[in-house]
Amino acid sequence: TQEYLKGLRSIYSADKILGHLRGLSDLKALVAGEAILDQYSYCVALGKTTKETIVASKFTHEELFAGGAVATANHIAGFCKEVTLLTSLGSDPAEEKFVRSKLRPNVRLEVIRTPDRPTVRKQRYIDPNELRKIFEIQYLDDTPISGAVEADMARRLEKESARHDLLIVNDFGHGLMSQKLREQASRCGKFLALNTQSNAANHGFNAVTKYERADYVAIDEIEMRVATSDKYGLIPDLAAGVKKRLSVSTFLVSRGPSGSVVLTSDGWHEAPALARRIVDRVGAGDALFAVTSPCAFRGMPPDVLCFIGNCVGALAVEIVGNREPIDPVKLFKFVETLLK
């Protein structure tokens, strides 16, 4: 890592890199994707029950975070002038009130109501002493959205994309982004930043190749292997294939503790992981995608993009879930510390 940073310092000053980040401040970004409520239920294990082979636990407290595309919009809002979040919520007005209360001031919420399906909620049972996740329950309906919801989403996507500089799609594979909407996003004529996630609910059914094209793609190694149906192939070869298929200008593959790599027409750029301590990995990939998307739109050099992404990831894993978005001031200070 020190050798990597030494090499980066020889090319860029901290001021130069921070100048790239400050250059995002006039942008208007549209974020589309599923809102997710992340519920952290903290409980302490009491021991095995007397009559069953299960562990009894004592509930202590819980927290509720605004995750998914909501978190993505909040991360972006720290760097861009204006952000619009286009998402769906269930029929409970308390959930919309909660989501609105968690948005940064420069995020405008465009809600599509889905009375026939709930807001996606992921409840994790957690040991508070080590923040170790014990069990997870997901409340969702990932069947295809209704024709009325799809038409409403399509209308708003067309209207909003026209008044924004870039479209950022955070597709969690929970049913909101239908085939029609994926095609519309691909053909909207705006810079498209794309992240499609593989998770327990959709594993194998939400490949990035379900989209026709994108200008910037950020996915992790598993998601790339899902897209290529290749478990053991070399990352450069697999990424090059996906990049060509989607006509992607900038392709980022995050690799967790192994850092990240960026592929452009100029070749490969790698950066090691920069995390100082790991508290919680939930939401770290969303944070990386969120902050690097406008960077890619602005044409940030790929080696700098890779570095910034890993800086964001390092800060994100120090935050419990989506308790708070990435703080630009903390990011700037982190960059300065690494490059001084």
User: Tokens 């964001």 map to which residue?
Assistant: 312
d(CA 13, CA 39): 41
Fold category of 2-36+67-120+144-339 in CATH: UDP-N-acetylmuramoyl-L-alanine:D-glutamate ligase (3.40.1190)
pLDDT on residue 173: 96
Taking CA atoms, 97 is separated from 16, 40, 91, 111, 228, in Å, by 40, 19, 12, 11, 40
Write down the H helix ranges in the chain.
2-9, 14-22, 69-77, 93-102, 147-162, 179-186, 221-228, 235-246, 284-297, 302-316, 328-339
Taking CA atoms, 84 is separated from 139, 172, 234, 307, in Å, by 25, 18, 38, 27
pLDDT on residue 261: 95
pLDDT on residue 248: 97
Residues of the chain with pLDDT under 70: none
pLDDT on residue 204: 83
User: Which residues are registered as beta bridge partners of 264?
Assistant: 267
pLDDT on residue 203: 82
